[in-house]
Structure 1
Amino acid sequence: MHVVLKYGEAERRLEIPEKADVTILRPATLPPVKDLKIALEEALAHPLDNPSFQETIRTIAPKTVAIAVPDETRPSPLGVILPVLLKQIESIAPHLDASAISIIVGGGLHQPMADHALRRIIPPTVAARCTIVAHDAINSRMADLGLTSRGTPVLVNARFAEADLKIVVGQIDPHQFVGFTGGSKGAVIGLAAAKTIEHNHGLMFDSRAQVGRLSDNPVREDLNEAGRMVGIHLVVNLVLDSDKQPVSALAGHPVSVLTAGAEVCRSVYGVKISGKFDVVVASCGGHPRDICLYQAQKGLNLASQTLKHGGKILLLAACPQGVGDDVYYEYVSRFRTPQEVLEHFRSLGFKMGAHKAYLFGRTLDNFDVAIASELDTAILDRCLLRSAEPEEQIRRWIEEFEGTPRVAVVPNANTTFFVAE
């Protein structure tokens, strides 16, 4: 049979030999939001566990406003969301000028976005009405808001933390150890200092830090607590389907929005399986999920959870922006085997960037992994990854298998997670 999988901005058609018993593990289909602008206006008029957005603006009477938005690794429709927010802010507080309303583009420890990249995600009509800032986790001025009960230092971009009205825009996706993205994460990770991100993400070693889990997940609960300390007034989160179309638009209190949105997200991306597979063929889901190797790791991790121990997995990830993180690349290049990475990282303690080598290493230690990408073979080798021509690799694995292999095809690996029936 043949399958068509997203690969960067394009698609790859792959032929899977008839010998295989193939199951395609697709996200569910929900009806898309008919008119996102109207849906957002409705969500802002009736937010979850919050007064209406306009009432919040009147009550606060802000002199400064900060809106946290994701960088280009997250496919958020900012061209619709931001004009709706600005229209309501300006209708209640028309005195605010461009210097008073800041849109802060956060990507955690990702490289700060250059001006030309910012222009790709922030519409010109919005940029003309606001101050646009690219967050820098190393160099931006930070506000120190204290420690969470788990000891995470809450150091957040000062322009955001000191604003009178604080808004977070983002989306809710499954996350390999936070449970789900969304809620306060867009500020307390997206706009955080490196120390904050490292301490919070260091909680991932806890066995309860799992994809799809909110309750009793120490990483997620720490983020929620940090969000309360920051004092976020409003969160606007979307759930997107596998075609990047919104199926839910929510606004309100950070935890309430996260809880409601996670249930929608679970209904789309939580796929039931009746047993594990011998071979998995996975696509990250195309651009921007496979924009770089650093992002593609999420798809490898989640898709591998459908595999039998020692099974084989092929990941399609175009990676047009390369590896995506210098710390990860420099760290992983020091080792010859995944086992060396795992041993060293456990003795080192959590270090952001290097943690990707650890996460890759856990998968490489348990499964036979091949990568189809635009990355140079030598670069993949230094990342302890093996380059492969996809159809040839699939054919060889299936021909070498004794009996009939069970093959899973995962078209949206970065956002799909799996639940045993």
Structure 2
Amino acid sequence: MKLEFEYGHGLMSAELPDQTDVFIPGETIPDPPYIPEEKLEDAYLKSLRNPIGMKSLRDMAFPDARVVIVIPDRVKGGEQPTSHRKIAAKLILRELYSAGVRKENILFLISNGLHPRAKKEDCQAILGEEIFQLFWESHQIISHDSEDPKHMVDLGFTDRGDPVWLNKYVYECDIPILIGHVQGNPYGGYSGGYKHCATGLSNWRSIASHHVPEVMHRKDFTPVNNGSLMRQKFDEIGMKMEEKMGHPFFCCDAVLDTSSRQIAIFSGYAKEMMPESWKVADQRTYVHWAEKKYDILVFGMPQKFHYGDGMGTNPIMMMQALSAQVLRFKRVMNDRCVILCSSICNGYFHDELWPYLREEWEAFQHDYMNILPDINRLGEYFATDEQYIRKYRMANAFHPFHGFSMMSCGHIAEENTSAIYIIGAEEPGLARNMGLKTRATFEEALEDAKRKYVGEHPNILALPKTFRMASVHLCMKDPALDCMDAYGNRT
């Protein structure tokens, strides 16, 4: 069979055996039904007015209340007119105004964490034109700055000993509102809930307590699930924030489908709300479909996706992307599994977006750096580099510690595969010095893999569009054959 896979800004063809299985999110197995557009407002108002585990916004709010509405950055969620962020923000404002809250006491905060701080056009795309025009000129839309000493608060440590820092605007307000998304994430299960505040409103020292090898290379991390140590740390950090604030976050999370449409809306106290939202999200995210384990996964990597332009060409970001697929699909992979992935791999690092990754990549080539976790000892050295910090704060670059979470994740692909072939690399040396094999075509790579690793009749799973659509966590049709369930229990 002939299939097309992402490659640079276009596609690359592959001739695969006719018995190859194909999985496309939302198509091979349809998503649960989404809420029709004409019923969205009613669904939101029902959720906002009947929150789980706490009072409604109308009951909590008062005329002098200071409110911070926290919105994820552009890496998360859709931007269509009916996107969760836009509708939730509009209706939350309506609920606050009905309780007498004044516009001048409301702040919109983009929770970018260590991601690039939002530009004007980002805020416009996230919030929509109406809210943007009402709040931008009065400086009531800002982006989190984890390196601003005047606006970060040290809240001490969790009982486990993890440092907790929180944005000061959120810490000092009367009503902190988190608008989040319940979509499958390779890092510790679902986005939204406490993951939102623990990663989006903190700083690198707090994030370094969970985005590091000793957490990400544990057996409970792969495959992705909702019960890993990383997930526990998110929850502990979020609850510590609430303890120190003296009140909980008010969350409004949407379970989203492949096209970022709302399947269900959940509002309220994260500790009680998250488990309820996960029950619905599990139906879309943990897809019990595979009838056999696979020897080969085949997919393609575009140049631009998820974290930005260059993710599919920058060797460190390529490794993260490969590992993200292992985290999602490990339940259906044989232990000897091989990956075939097309990537233009042309040496474009996108130094403006990731100004530190070229230096980090160079460091990995020297001084007994044998595996990706070896470089983690340089994490604080990079994370405190003033040049890179200035670019994060003032030039919309990723924070320098972000690269170390990418490196930690990147090693997971090596740990869980026999080999990874990069197909069509224009600069194949970049792939090879990350431990990857290179071939010109899918067909050449497949023949080499059969000869060396998987034999003449491998089970092959093709994953077209895997980086273009909101992915799923693929599982065995018989859950008893999974190595781990959605909540971290070994099966």
Say yes or no: TM over 0.5.
yes
What is aligned with 1:126?
131
Cα shift at 1:148: 0.7
What is aligned with 1:135?
144
Q: 1:121 to 1:226 in 2, by over 3 A?
A: same
Does the CA contact (< 8 Å) of 2:295 and 2:459 recur in 1? Answer: yes
TM-score by length of 2: 0.73
Counting only pairs closer than 5 Å after superposition, residues 17-416 of structure 1 correspond to structure 2 as 17-24=16-23, 26=25, 28=29, 29-35=31-37, 36-58=40-62, 61-76=63-78, 77=83, 78-97=85-104, 100-130=105-135, 131-139=140-148, 141-202=151-212, 203-215=215-227, 217-231=228-242, 232-272=248-288, 273-282=290-299, 288-289=305-306, 291=308, 292-293=311-312, 294=317, 296-297=321-322, 299-303=324-328, 305=330, 306-315=332-341, 322=350, 325-336=354-365, 340-342=370-372, 344-345=374-375, 352-365=402-415, 366-371=417-422, 391-392=442-443, 396=447, 402-410=455-463, 411-412=465-466, 415-416=471-472
Measure, in 1, the Cα distance between the counterparts of 2:122 and 2:441.
31
Q: CA deviation digits over 1:121-169, x for unaligned, max 9?
A: 2323212333111112223620122211111211111112211110111
Measure, in 2, the Cα distance between the counterparts of 1:42 and 1:7.
44
Mind listing any 5+ residue stretches in structure 1 that lack a counterpart?
none
Measure, in 2, the Cα distance between the counterparts of 1:14 and 1:269.
28
Q: CA deviation digits over 1:322-342, x for unaligned, max 9?
A: 485444543233234997134
SS at match of 2:197: helix
Q: 1:326 to 1:128 in 2, by over 3 A?
A: same
Does the CA contact (< 8 Å) of 2:74 and 2:126 recur in 1? Answer: yes
Letter in 2 for 1:125: E
Does the CA contact (< 8 Å) of 2:224 and 2:327 recur in 1? Answer: no
Q: 1:136 to 1:195 in 2, by over 3 A?
A: same
Cα shift at 1:196: 0.8
Does the CA contact (< 8 Å) of 1:176 and 1:302 recur in 2? Answer: yes
What is aligned with 2:484?
none
Measure, in 1, the Cα distance between the counterparts of 2:95 and 2:264.
20
Q: 1:369 to 1:160 in 2, by over 3 A?
A: same
Measure, in 2, the Cα distance between the counterparts of 1:119 and 1:375.
36
Cα shift at 1:181: 2.0
Measure, in 2, the Cα distance between the counterparts of 1:251 and 1:259.
12
Does the CA contact (< 8 Å) of 1:68 and 1:186 recur in 2? Answer: no
Q: CA deviation digits over 1:358-410, x for unaligned, max 9?
A: 32123135332244699966665665556666655566457756432211123
TM-score by length of 1: 0.83
**Percent identical across equivalent pairs?**
18
Letter in 2 for 1:369: I
Measure, in 1, the Cα distance between the counterparts of 2:122 and 2:425.
21
Measure, in 2, the Cα distance between the counterparts of 1:111 and 1:17.
39
Mind listing any 5+ residue stretches in structure 2 that lack a counterpart?
243-247, 381-400, 479-491
Q: 1:50 to 1:308 in 2, by over 3 A?
A: same
Measure, in 1, the Cα distance between the counterparts of 2:344 and 2:50.
41
Q: 1:342 to 1:12 in 2, by over 3 A?
A: closer
Cα shift at 1:415: 3.5
SS at match of 1:201: coil
Q: 1:48 to 1:116 in 2, by over 3 A?
A: same
SS at match of 1:264: helix
Letter in 2 for 1:314: L
Cα shift at 1:310: 3.9
Measure, in 2, the Cα distance between the counterparts of 1:6 and 1:56.
48
